[in-house]
Amino acid sequence: MLYADFAMNASSTLFGIENSWLLGAARHPSSNCDERVAGVPISLLVIHGISLPPNEFGGGYVEDLFLNRLDCTAHPYFAKLQGVKVSAHLFVRRTGEVLQFVPFNKRAWHAGQSSFQGRAACNDFSIGIELEGADQIPYEPLQYQRLAMITQLLMQHYPDIRRETIVGHSDIAPGRKTDPGDAFDWHHFFSLLEKSAENEQ
Protein backbone atom coordinates (compact mmCIF):
# COMPACT_ATOMS: atom_id res chain seq x y z
CA MET A 1 0.00 0.00 0.00
CA LEU A 2 1.35 3.42 -0.87
CA TYR A 3 1.86 6.03 1.86
CA ALA A 4 -0.52 8.34 0.02
CA ASP A 5 -3.22 5.67 0.22
CA PHE A 6 -3.23 5.12 3.93
CA ALA A 7 -2.48 8.76 4.77
CA MET A 8 -6.06 9.48 3.73
CA ASN A 9 -7.43 6.80 6.02
CA ALA A 10 -6.80 7.45 9.71
CA SER A 11 -8.20 4.04 10.59
CA SER A 12 -5.70 2.21 8.40
CA THR A 13 -4.60 -1.10 9.87
CA LEU A 14 -1.03 -0.51 8.76
CA PHE A 15 -0.32 1.15 12.09
CA GLY A 16 -0.94 -0.39 15.48
CA ILE A 17 1.05 -0.93 18.66
CA GLU A 18 2.26 -4.40 19.54
CA ASN A 19 4.73 -5.21 22.31
CA SER A 20 5.63 -1.51 22.53
CA TRP A 21 6.54 -1.29 18.82
CA LEU A 22 4.62 0.65 16.18
CA LEU A 23 3.48 -1.67 13.43
CA GLY A 24 4.34 -0.29 10.02
CA ALA A 25 7.40 1.58 11.26
CA ALA A 26 10.89 0.50 10.26
CA ARG A 27 12.69 -0.78 13.35
CA HIS A 28 16.21 0.42 14.09
CA PRO A 29 16.86 -0.49 17.74
CA SER A 30 19.11 2.01 19.50
CA SER A 31 21.18 1.30 22.59
CA ASN A 32 20.55 4.87 23.73
CA CYS A 33 17.75 4.00 26.11
CA ASP A 34 17.14 2.45 29.50
CA GLU A 35 14.38 1.05 31.67
CA ARG A 36 11.49 3.23 32.72
CA VAL A 37 10.86 3.97 36.38
CA ALA A 38 8.47 1.36 37.73
CA GLY A 39 4.98 2.61 38.47
CA VAL A 40 5.35 5.86 36.50
CA PRO A 41 2.73 5.98 33.72
CA ILE A 42 3.47 7.44 30.30
CA SER A 43 1.57 10.71 30.30
CA LEU A 44 3.49 13.14 28.06
CA LEU A 45 4.14 13.26 24.31
CA VAL A 46 7.01 15.48 23.21
CA ILE A 47 7.29 16.61 19.59
CA HIS A 48 10.74 17.53 18.33
CA GLY A 49 12.23 18.78 15.10
CA ILE A 50 15.66 17.71 13.86
CA SER A 51 17.83 18.03 10.77
CA LEU A 52 21.46 17.10 10.25
CA PRO A 53 23.23 19.20 9.18
CA PRO A 54 20.87 21.99 10.33
CA ASN A 55 18.27 22.94 7.69
CA GLU A 56 19.30 20.09 5.40
CA PHE A 57 17.09 17.07 4.80
CA GLY A 58 17.51 13.57 3.46
CA GLY A 59 20.40 11.24 3.98
CA GLY A 60 20.86 9.11 7.06
CA TYR A 61 22.63 11.39 9.51
CA VAL A 62 19.78 11.48 12.04
CA GLU A 63 19.56 7.70 12.07
CA ASP A 64 23.35 7.52 12.40
CA LEU A 65 23.22 9.84 15.41
CA PHE A 66 20.58 7.78 17.18
CA LEU A 67 22.50 4.57 16.42
CA ASN A 68 25.89 5.92 17.57
CA ARG A 69 27.46 5.59 14.16
CA LEU A 70 27.59 9.24 13.04
CA ASP A 71 30.87 10.15 11.33
CA CYS A 72 31.62 13.39 13.15
CA THR A 73 34.18 14.33 10.49
CA ALA A 74 31.57 14.29 7.71
CA HIS A 75 30.45 17.88 8.38
CA PRO A 76 31.89 20.71 10.53
CA TYR A 77 28.67 20.91 12.58
CA PHE A 78 29.00 17.29 13.63
CA ALA A 79 32.11 17.97 15.71
CA LYS A 80 29.90 19.15 18.57
CA LEU A 81 28.07 15.82 18.49
CA GLN A 82 31.15 13.75 19.24
CA GLY A 83 30.29 11.35 22.05
CA VAL A 84 26.68 12.52 22.31
CA LYS A 85 24.24 9.70 22.99
CA VAL A 86 20.64 10.56 22.22
CA SER A 87 17.60 8.89 20.75
CA ALA A 88 13.87 9.23 20.24
CA HIS A 89 11.13 6.66 20.14
CA LEU A 90 10.08 7.64 16.62
CA PHE A 91 11.44 9.63 13.69
CA VAL A 92 9.13 10.84 10.91
CA ARG A 93 10.97 11.71 7.73
CA ARG A 94 9.70 14.40 5.37
CA THR A 95 8.61 11.62 3.02
CA GLY A 96 6.27 10.30 5.71
CA GLU A 97 8.40 7.25 6.43
CA VAL A 98 8.35 6.35 10.13
CA LEU A 99 11.31 4.80 11.95
CA GLN A 100 11.31 3.50 15.51
CA PHE A 101 14.48 3.44 17.57
CA VAL A 102 13.23 2.72 21.08
CA PRO A 103 10.20 0.67 22.17
CA PHE A 104 7.62 2.71 24.05
CA ASN A 105 8.07 0.74 27.26
CA LYS A 106 11.66 1.95 27.50
CA ARG A 107 12.99 5.42 28.20
CA ALA A 108 14.44 7.14 25.14
CA TRP A 109 17.00 9.86 25.69
CA HIS A 110 15.24 12.70 23.90
CA ALA A 111 14.22 15.37 26.39
CA GLY A 112 17.45 16.11 28.25
CA GLN A 113 17.22 18.54 31.14
CA SER A 114 13.52 19.29 31.19
CA SER A 115 10.39 19.78 33.25
CA PHE A 116 6.64 19.75 32.69
CA GLN A 117 4.15 21.21 35.14
CA GLY A 118 6.73 21.09 37.90
CA ARG A 119 7.90 17.55 37.14
CA ALA A 120 11.55 17.23 36.15
CA ALA A 121 13.22 14.53 34.04
CA CYS A 122 10.57 14.29 31.33
CA ASN A 123 12.18 11.21 29.81
CA ASP A 124 10.78 9.29 32.77
CA PHE A 125 7.16 9.73 31.73
CA SER A 126 7.19 10.70 28.06
CA ILE A 127 7.37 9.47 24.50
CA GLY A 128 9.49 11.46 22.07
CA ILE A 129 8.74 11.87 18.37
CA GLU A 130 11.26 13.57 16.10
CA LEU A 131 10.09 15.19 12.87
CA GLU A 132 12.66 15.77 10.16
CA GLY A 133 12.54 19.53 9.94
CA ALA A 134 13.78 22.91 11.11
CA ASP A 135 12.31 25.71 13.17
CA GLN A 136 11.64 28.06 10.26
CA ILE A 137 10.98 25.62 7.41
CA PRO A 138 7.39 24.37 6.97
CA TYR A 139 6.85 20.71 7.75
CA GLU A 140 5.37 18.45 5.09
CA PRO A 141 1.63 17.59 4.97
CA LEU A 142 2.47 13.90 5.09
CA GLN A 143 4.36 14.42 8.34
CA TYR A 144 1.31 16.01 9.97
CA GLN A 145 -0.87 13.14 8.76
CA ARG A 146 1.52 10.52 10.11
CA LEU A 147 1.91 12.37 13.39
CA ALA A 148 -1.84 12.65 13.91
CA MET A 149 -2.38 8.96 13.19
CA ILE A 150 0.42 7.91 15.52
CA THR A 151 -0.67 10.29 18.26
CA GLN A 152 -4.20 8.91 18.17
CA LEU A 153 -2.84 5.39 18.57
CA LEU A 154 -0.62 6.44 21.46
CA MET A 155 -3.50 8.19 23.23
CA GLN A 156 -5.58 5.02 22.92
CA HIS A 157 -2.74 2.84 24.19
CA TYR A 158 -1.57 5.24 26.91
CA PRO A 159 -4.71 7.01 28.18
CA ASP A 160 -2.75 9.34 30.47
CA ILE A 161 -1.58 11.16 27.32
CA ARG A 162 -4.13 13.89 26.66
CA ARG A 163 -4.27 16.88 24.35
CA GLU A 164 -2.95 19.13 27.10
CA THR A 165 0.05 16.83 27.62
CA ILE A 166 1.16 16.97 23.98
CA VAL A 167 3.94 19.55 23.83
CA GLY A 168 6.99 20.67 21.93
CA HIS A 169 10.56 20.26 23.10
CA SER A 170 10.66 24.02 23.58
CA ASP A 171 7.82 23.77 26.11
CA ILE A 172 9.73 21.46 28.44
CA ALA A 173 13.17 23.02 27.93
CA PRO A 174 12.46 26.74 27.35
CA GLY A 175 15.53 28.80 26.58
CA ARG A 176 17.52 25.67 25.81
CA LYS A 177 15.48 24.20 22.96
CA THR A 178 13.34 25.85 20.28
CA ASP A 179 12.00 22.88 18.32
CA PRO A 180 9.72 22.03 16.65
CA GLY A 181 9.83 25.78 16.03
CA ASP A 182 7.54 28.46 14.66
CA ALA A 183 7.13 26.49 11.43
CA PHE A 184 5.18 23.76 13.23
CA ASP A 185 1.46 24.41 12.82
CA TRP A 186 -0.08 23.27 16.10
CA HIS A 187 -3.59 24.28 15.05
CA HIS A 188 -3.38 22.15 11.91
CA PHE A 189 -1.94 19.21 13.83
CA PHE A 190 -4.66 19.25 16.49
CA SER A 191 -7.31 19.60 13.78
CA LEU A 192 -6.00 16.44 12.11
CA LEU A 193 -5.83 14.71 15.48
CA GLU A 194 -9.50 15.49 16.12
CA LYS A 195 -10.44 14.11 12.70
CA SER A 196 -8.40 10.99 13.40
CA ALA A 197 -10.25 10.50 16.69
CA GLU A 198 -13.60 10.96 14.95
CA ASN A 199 -12.73 8.31 12.39
CA GLU A 200 -12.03 5.87 15.21
CA GLN A 201 -15.49 6.30 16.68
Strand partners, 134: 137
Active-site residue among 18, 56, 130, 140?
Answer: 130
20, 15, 18, 17: which is closest to 105 by C-alpha? 20
Q: What are phi and psi of 151, to 5 degrees?
A: -60, -40
Distance CA 27, CA 54 (A): 24
Task: Yes or no: say if 46 and 54 are a contact pair by the CB < 8 Å rule.
Answer: no
Whether 63 is catalytic:
no
Distance CA 169, CA 89 (A): 14
139: DSSP letter:
P
Q: Which residues are catalytic?
A: 130
